[in-house]
Amino acid sequence: MDLACRVAAWSFHSVSSVVGRMDLVSIFYPLILKLVTIFRILKRSLYTVGYPIVKRLVVQRFAAAGLELNGKKPEDIQIRPGSEKEVILRIACDGELGLGETYMAGMSENIQSPGDGMPYALC
């Protein structure tokens, strides 16, 4: 058994002996939630630093679907003045959920496709 396996086995044994019969999930769950929050903050920071690249990718994704941000066609998504960066970052970070959240927050309009009344899918 190599050293890493012995250290891992020792640390697990020491944690389980200290904890006793306590559920390990209840111990690690808050830690996992904190790690997810940190990951989201780091992802958002990375997208903010690379905003021009992210904006170009989001615009290309909409263009592939035949849509344009602030375009002239009736089915194009309209973004309220002053909130373009926030809308682009939310769409980049959260995809369709981010698009829906920007609509609910009043930052964008017309996220329903005119033909069938179904919401846009960004996949």
pLDDT of residue 50 exceeding 70: yes
- Considering only residues 119 and 85, tell me which one the structure prediction assigns the higher pLDDT: 85
Q: Which residues pair with 77 in a beta bridge?
A: 69
Q: Count Cβ atoms below 10 Å from residue 69 Cβ, excluding itself.
A: 18
Domain ranges across the chain? 1-41, 50-123
pLDDT of residue 46 exceeding 50: yes
pLDDT of residue 121 exceeding 50: no
Q: Express the helix, strand and coil content of the chain in percent, nearest 5 each.
A: 65, 5, 30
pLDDT of residue 122: 47
Residue type, position 44, single letter: R
C-alpha to C-alpha distance for 78 and 101, rounded to whole angstroms? 14
User: Tens digits of per-residue pLDDT, 60-102?
Assistant: 988 998 888 888 888 888 888 888 888 888 888 888 888 888 8
pLDDT of residue 60: 92
Contacts of 67 (CB under 8 A, 6+ apart): 73, 75, 76, 77, 120
User: Tens digits of per-residue pLDDT, 103-114?
Assistant: 888 888 765 555
